[in-house]
Amino acid sequence: MSDTTHPFDLLLQLAAHCRRQAAGLPAQQAVAETWSGIGFRLAGQPMVAAMGEVSEILHEPRYTALPRVKSWVRGVANVRGRLLPIIDLSHFLGASSNIPRKQRRVLVLDRDELFVGLLVDELFGMQHFPVSSFTTTVPALAEELRPFVVGAYTGEQVSLIFNFRALARDQAFLDVAI
């Protein structure tokens, strides 16, 4: 019989040697629970919306203006064969926006009977907040914004939580005709 070691045994020895020589990973003391949402700027205010409320994010599409609608209704856009109403959310809330068009984004809501694109000033992307930083106490808000804010996450800055479901139930938002 020969004195050679089987290659699999050599691999096992190498693995054991590596484990002995490896530095340990730092121990994670506690797992912090986080809440994730889509961050955006609306009327100069940092906001965040729950991930499940926004179905799509678009650059501001070309749209066709509609007659006899309120001034905050920009028009309708053809998005993959569906007519998407475009609403200037800042204007609806009584604020003006001077953000360049290429910086603005449309948050698409497609839930139940509501299919609408909400134009916001700027998009921050996905944001994560520790659940412990949630508060229902929010700073002073414009009266038009108050019914749609359900709380805030504090940290480097305060991000208000915008509730699109409350917006979708608001009769003033649903009544677009003049």
The pLDDT value given to residue 113? 85
pLDDT for 108-149, tens place per residue?
Answer: 999 888 899 999 999 999 999 999 999 998 878 888 899 999
pLDDT of residue 155 exceeding 90: no
Residue 100 pLDDT exceeds 90: no
Q: 69-92 burial by CB neighbour count: b if 16+ within 10 A, else e? A: bbebbbbbbebeeeebbbbbbbbb
Q: Dump pLDDT digits (tens) for 31-41.
A: 789 999 999 99
Which residue type sits at 87?
A: I
Whether pLDDT at 156 is above 80: yes
Q: How confident is the model at residue 2 (pLDDT cuts 50, 70, 90)?
A: low
Asked whether 66 and 73 are in contact (CB, 8 A), the reply is: yes
For residue 25, what pLDDT is reported? 73
Q: What is the pLDDT of residue 16?
A: 92
pTM above 0.85, yes or no: no
What is the CATH T-level fold of the domain 34-174, as seen in this structure?
Answer: OB fold (Dihydrolipoamide Acetyltransferase, E2P) (2.40.50)
Mean pLDDT of the chain: 91
Choose the weakest-confidence range: 27-36, 40-49, 81-90.
Answer: 27-36
- What pLDDT is attached to residue 5? 82
Is the pLDDT at 87 greater than 90? The verdict is yes
| Over residues 52-65, mean pLDDT | 94
Average pLDDT over every residue of 52-74: 95
CB atoms within 10 A of CB 61: 15
Report the alpha-carbon distance of residue 85 to residue 63 in Å, rounded: 9
Quote the pLDDT of residue 111: 86
